[in-house]
Amino acid sequence: MAWALARRCDELGVDLIQNCEVTGFQLDRGRVTGVQTSRGRIAAGKVGLAAAGHSSVLAELAGFRLPIQSHPLQALVSELFEPVHPTVVMSNHVHVYVSQAHKGELVLGAGVDSYNGYGQRGAFHVIEEQMAAAVELFPMFARAHVLRTWGGIVDTTFDASPIISDTPVDELYVNCGWGTGGFKGTPASGLTFAHTIATGKAHPLNEPFALDRFETGQLIDEHGAAAVAH
């Protein structure tokens, strides 16, 4: 996947700089003029901020706050199995999702850890509870052995819907708050975010997902549609 992304960026004439940490923003009278990184300054007329669980950290470097919370999210895979599970099952009742990768591993996950944090490890009791839930749904999975676990950081908003919007800093745009479902929304997210950055105006599809909805009170009443408990 990384090779394909790098090749596509090369075809489009886009530079993809790896292992380059953003340490701050260059501002001039309320307008962003560049990004400060661990490899030096990058001048820019417009900047798109899409940093998932660290979006609020970077926003504070630019001088404003985002209404999001960051939580650890854990997942795990089992040892290889013959194909037995050709779909994705998600249960809000016992709260677990189970699918099977093409190579044969069972992929399992649960909800976010209840505390706020940036630690990419999570808590053991969450793994224990999601395994118990998976076995309740599929008793045969009790014979599966855990191969590896990992944790990431997800950003969640108060109405469980993303933010694709301009910000209080001119020419600085943000795409965040996707929680645990961001990957599935990537095509629409990319299209609407690119339109917003290029034109300076929201695409009709992301107009309701503006940052100022948390000031006006026009929140998006689709918390239950997120299909996961945030």
Tell me what pLDDT residue 35 has.
Answer: 96
Residue 6 has pLDDT above 70, yes or no: no
Question: What per-residue confidence (pLDDT) applies to 105?
Answer: 93
| pLDDT tens column, 171-217 | 999 999 988 777 677 888 999 999 999 999 999 999 999 999 999 99
CATH 3.50.50.60 fits 2-67+159-226, yes or no: yes
Q: State yes or no: pLDDT of 221 exceeds 90.
A: no
- Residue 21, pLDDT score: 93
95 residue type, one letter: H
Give the whole-number percent of the chain exceeding pLDDT 90. Answer: 50
pLDDT at 7: 61
What does pLDDT average to over the chain?
87
152 pLDDT exceeds 60? yes
Per the model's pLDDT, the better-predicted residue between 4 and 31 turns out to be: 31
Superfamily of domain 70-157: D-Amino Acid Oxidase, subunit A, domain 2 (3.30.9.10)
pLDDT digits (tens, 9 = 90+) for 17-40: 888 999 999 999 999 999 999 999
Beta strands in 46-87 (DSSP E): 47-49, 68-80
Angle CA 13–182–215, to nearest 5:
105
Q: Is the pLDDT of residue 229 over 50?
A: no
Domain boundaries, the chain: 2-67+159-226, 70-157
Q: What is the pLDDT of residue 1?
A: 41
pLDDT of residue 227: 46
* Residue 106 DSSP label: E
52 to each of 145, 206, 208, how far by Cα in Å? 31, 17, 20
Q: pLDDT tens digits for 69-100?
A: 999 888 899 999 888 888 888 887 777 889 99
pLDDT value at position 111?
A: 77
Residue 74 DSSP one-character state: E
Q: Is 124 exposed, middle or buried (0-12, 13-18, 19+ CB in 10 A)?
A: exposed
Helix (H) / strand (E) element for 108: namely: strand 105-109
17-21, 51-55, 163-167, 179-183: range with highest mean pLDDT? 163-167
